[in-house]
Chain A
């Protein structure tokens, strides 16, 4: 068992329901500092709901979670972003009609201070901050490997670039935990390889990564630990190889008895 001190995110018996539908039931997760933690499960298992709870878009119905030593039960999204949780979305949610650069500059909002007075007077502090914001945004574009013109509107970027721009925007908030909701969805093999390298680079910089993904190859090659959700319950947790052989996981994916042990239970890479 890990020490509480090196845990970044602790979910304690988190529950969430929508009317009669139980999206999350008694889910406990413990994510350590600087690890890449994968979250998998069949469609509708509650992965995205869990993300939305952790990032404040949904309020949880029972349980609580601790992030960086602070306990949260109900909290606004912007405060969780402030605390250091940044996310991307399953259906890309960029600011479509803002340029790539501006998208990232919005991500800097949280860590900058210029108010009305600064904006109106453009005093030395405001100008310095604006310059730093632009500078940081350019660096992040380069960091995630977007090479197109910075003024291109987000919606005119290629699909893979949009996914990476979302990551750059999230990184601009200086997160401790980066939560990625299916970052490889819709990417081709080359893009996925690049994404994997990017995520490893992000982890190496000290940011913890929480990852929802269907691409098993990516999960297996990347994650330190994996948890499997099914019908809102955590049915397995551990290192990827272990989880892959777990009978409960196989049952969840194949929906039947757990006899075919050497058949790979999970959808193969490239299917998602």
Chain B
């Protein structure tokens, strides 16, 4: 059994290591780049999963922490201020700053729940973006809507992830190297998520999601535990943001719009709230599928109808919306829900569900 499991892990590890080369060979360079982005989004979605999936706090401004991480990296590692701090300083610093913002933005929302919390976090997300957009006057900090360019590439010592290397006849490009770097961080984030989930703290998060009043009556300091969820989620977002800035070499406020927050939330909900595997799957699907549509919609129409009738770009969003609706109808708990959520949605229908709702939703 143990042997079986470890051999399974080994297979997975080899598959993950070989993946960029397989993608490169089959679909080309562009798709390896998309895989890199998928990993960044997975990190984001896992961060949001702590806030939304575990603690049940609906955060619609989550992309703000991605922005904070990205801008921290950009400001400290670009010609903007002439600072070129090394990656191993800037990345953790970005995570820390994002963590700080997580607490800062989380604190005023502690008494809010559900819809109200969603609206306030949405507002905070927009505030951060608008600040970034306007902090170019009177003192130019963020360079406003133009954004910050020529950001230092991700590098450790003399080793840059943005160069190509030849290694035993194998050509390893920047997209491959970034893939491995991001994969490492993603695995770290997965590890942290899973360890926290199955711990005293993870249980406290779920307890707050289930019934905050009962949780506090059982001695859980709901304020601290909620702030911890915001802080952890924001930290993951900050790491992802820093990597994003280094990878792109350019950041501007428009990368951090409300649509991005919604996208990350969709990954969490669609994949399977509260389940690390589901969230990863959601991240992969929601990055890959739209790209697939973008590339395939034109040729397919050409082939079937002889001409391109609908613009692939608009068709992409249409299909995306349709997919979202279908998944929510057929698998309301997500494509790959946690066992808990699956049980939650299964078993009770009709009368039974009604009964339970009256038992549990009765206010005190």
Contacts and interface: CB of A to CB of B under 8 A. Distances in A.
Interface in A88-140: 89-98, 102, 105-110, 112, 114-116, 118-120, 122, 126, 129-130, 133
A119 B202 contact: yes
Contacts of B359: 91-92, 155, 159, 162
B214 A82 contact: no
Contacts of A76: 216, 221
A12 interface: no
Contacts of B364: 48, 52, 57, 89-91, 93
B217 A81 contact: yes
Contact of B344 (A87, A110, A153): A153
Interface of B: 192, 195-196, 199-204, 206-207, 210-211, 213-222, 228, 340-341, 343-344, 347-348, 356, 359-360, 362-364
A91 B362 CA distance: 7
A23 interface: no
B211 A120 contact: no
Nearest to A175: B219
B195 A105 contact: no
A98 B363 CA distance: 19
B353 to A, nearest CB: 10
A26 B203 CA distance: 40
Contact of B340 (A97, A114, A170): A97
Nearest to B197: A119
Given A94-B211, A119-B196, A120-B196, A109 B219 contact: yes
Q: Give the residue among A94, A116, A170 with the most B Cβ atoms within 10 A.
A: A116
Contact of A116 (B201, B219, B220): B201
Contacts of A122: 195
Contacts of B217: 55-57, 77-78, 81, 86-87, 89, 93
A106 to B, nearest CB: 5
19 contacts: A55-B217, A76-B221, A78-B216, A78-B222, A81-B219, A90-B364, A92-B359, A93-B213, A95-B206, A95-B211, A98-B207, A105-B203, A110-B218, A114-B200, A114-B201, A115-B201, A119-B195, A122-B195, A169-B218
A173 interface: yes
Contacts of A119: 195-196, 199-202
Size category of the A interface is 35 or more
Given A76-B221, A78-B219, 6 more contacts: A56-B216, A95-B206, A97-B343, A109-B200, A120-B192, A153-B344
A89 B212 CA distance: 13
A93 B216 CA distance: 12
A133 B199 CA distance: 11
Q: Give the residue among B192, B217, B356 with the most A Cβ atoms within 10 A.
A: B217
Contact of B210 (A97, A108, A120): A97
Nearest to B216: A77
A153 B343 contact: yes
- Shortest 7 CB-CB contacts between residues of A and residues of B: A110-B219, A81-B219, A119-B199, A95-B210, A91-B362, A93-B214, A77-B216
A98 B210 contact: yes
A93 B222 contact: no
Nearest to B192: A120
Contacts of A112: 200
Contacts of A105: 203
B128 to A, nearest CB: 25
Nearest to A76: B216
A77 B216 CA distance: 6
B356 A106 contact: no
Contacts of B347: 156
Contacts of A86: 217-218
Contacts of A109: 200, 203-204, 207, 218-220
A14 to B, nearest CB: 19
Contacts of B344: 97, 153
